[in-house]
Amino acid sequence: MDEQTYWDKQHDKYLGTDWINKPSLFAEWVLQYLPPNGSLLDLGAGQAQDSQYFAKKKYAVTATDFSWHALEIAKQKSSGSIVFQQVDLSKPLPYKDASYDIVYAHLSLHYFDASKTQSLFDEIYRVLKPNGILAALFNSDQDPEIAEGKQLESNYIELDGIRKRYFNVEDARKFASKYQIIVADNDGTTYKDKAKGIHNLIRLVAQKAT
């Protein structure tokens, strides 16, 4: 199964969950670290529940995802103020330098090898305005799932045809070394992981230097 088909099917499954239409725990938590207004780029927005949350807080939101199917579902739920774009994070971001006040990524930056992951962090730095904020949540290397896949490199596995990276706090700091770190901890969770008793996802809030 190719990645596009995989994610389209995943989003059909998500329609049956109780969390897909409410903001994530991470989005609600990270709001305290964001500027009170401005432009926000949501990378890997999925069905855009967090994008809708930020739009209601009066941010100018661009919601992106690899799956156009997910974005079509999101459009049907949207009030119309959000810009939707299909973006492949394995390629350079299609935005000009210093375009956004905030780049937000909820479990979407951890699908690449170390070299590509670093390039993606650098791309985010490029499109952020001076003093802009990166807010991101990552898989934890304490997740038992990491032992179930084929290891491709340290903390990077292939499972059921999908490649995933698992972070720790040091990894987050390393990839974000160009930034000023505001928060880097392992206290994150999601509604889905909370139900499993998992409370150690990696949270990163970092600022681009002027």
Strands 39-43 and 60-65: parallel
What's residue 128's pLDDT?
98
pLDDT at 1 over 60: no
Q: Which residues pair with 181 in a beta bridge?
A: 206
Specify the pLDDT at position 7. 63
Q: In this predicted structure, what is the pLDDT of residue 194?
A: 77
**Sign of the CA dihedral 145, 120, 33, 30?**
negative
Residue 174 lies in a domain: yes
Give the pLDDT score at 203. Answer: 98
Q: What is the mean pLDDT of residues 105-126?
A: 97
In CATH, what number is assigned to the domain containing residue 179?
3.40.50.150
Residue 123 domain-assigned?
A: yes
Residue whose C-alpha is closest to residue 189's, from 70, 50, 39, 24: 24
**Coil/strand/helix, residue 174:** helix
Mean pLDDT of 13-34: 87
Query: Quick check: is 167 in a domain?
Result: yes
Residue range 117-166, pLDDT digits in tens: 999 999 999 999 999 999 999 999 998 889 999 999 999 999 988 899 99
Domain total of the chain: 1
pLDDT tens string 51-86: 999 999 999 999 999 998 899 999 988 877 999 999
189 falls within a domain = yes
